[in-house]
Structure 1
Amino acid sequence: MLLVVQRWGIRLLLLFTVLVGLSLATTTPPPHPAVDDQVNPGFDTCPLPCWAGITPAETRTDAVPRLITAHLPGMNVEFRGVVTQINFAATTPGQTLRGVVYDKRGLVSGVRLETHLPLWQVMELLGAPDCIRISQGTDGHELVAVSWQTEHHVISGTVLLPSPDAWQPSATISLLGIFEGYPACAAPGDYRWHGFAPIWQYR
């Protein structure tokens, strides 16, 4: 009788172990959700606030050309240094990525990129933004800036809305900035994030 109980105990323990393993495998999220590297190259290298192996306040500026070239394979990359920044353009026959890397005493202080990132995808990576700023573009479009504050960095995305109704999770971030930490959400006109409330509530 004791032998039977022991056998059933071992079987139940094995079954419990398998179930726990399956549960962890299905519920544990990946380290950082994938961004389509064909549309937005460089984002599959490392999670934000890193891009293409470059992290503001950590990466040396003189390493930037090597890192961008290495992490944008198949693209022709041209660099142009201007005082305290490096402008670059990475191209393929059907795509162009432009950006600027800013220097501060030999270290990268910020990166600014032209992107085609859906807002919802960046929110999956970083969570809800900390603040939002609304302004009127010269062409009459709404210019929306959303910002995330991390322990050491600020990440900001610029969304150009053709109309207030376009303020949706599917709106596209056309300009993404990654900078070493500074007091975000403290300037006049910055409002704390209240979700996708009507634009007028952020004025």
Structure 2
Amino acid sequence: MGSRSYGQFCGVASALTMVGERWALLIVRDLLVGPRRFTDLLNGLPAIPTNVLSSRLKELEGHGVIRRRVLPLPEKGVVYVLTEYGSELEEAVLALGRWGARSLTVPAEHEIVTTDSMIMALRTTFRAHYATGVRCGFQLNIGDVTVHARVDDGHLHAAAGHLPDADLVIETGPQIRALMAGERSPEQALDDGSVRITGERDLLQLFTRLFAIDARLPAVA
């Protein structure tokens, strides 16, 4: 499929041959949220050139990571979905997300938050061990992106759009990262206006307990 070989008989090298090319894992990330049309992937990855997206999809399909599925009428068209083999990348993608989130600070001028990336961020940062017995719905409005998370006794369902019966609605921007990393307390974020809520203030504390970024970085020698 034109992928570069690392010349090593190694599982890591094999994995990188399949998903190590630029954009490949971000395509997998978005497909972990659900099936996507070609145009959906372009909209979710606005910086990717069309020809590169086409190449990555062909490579991933050739490696058995994704497949095309024809939609029945009346929808009509083709969507890309992960194969069973490709779906096994979820654990690795979530682990990479947790690891990478530790180095985030503030977004650069050209960096955006997308719906799929925010859904995966919720799945990445969810701490199930704190959610036993918790039943609560959260809606996050981050600029133009609206996602929601429903927690049900240790289980999480995160998806796009509004949650009509949300217990807490959070309105914010990139400041959500500092809140989830514990760099700003819920009280500080509410008092300075960087976060606005509809619902009980205590639920924002619960949100930061359930969804947290480990911001600790190793000391530089």
TM-score, structure 1 length as denominator? 0.31
Q: Which one has a bigger Cα radius of gyration?
A: 1
Q: Which has the higher strand share?
A: 1
TM-score, structure 2 length as denominator? 0.29
Q: Which has the higher helix share?
A: 2
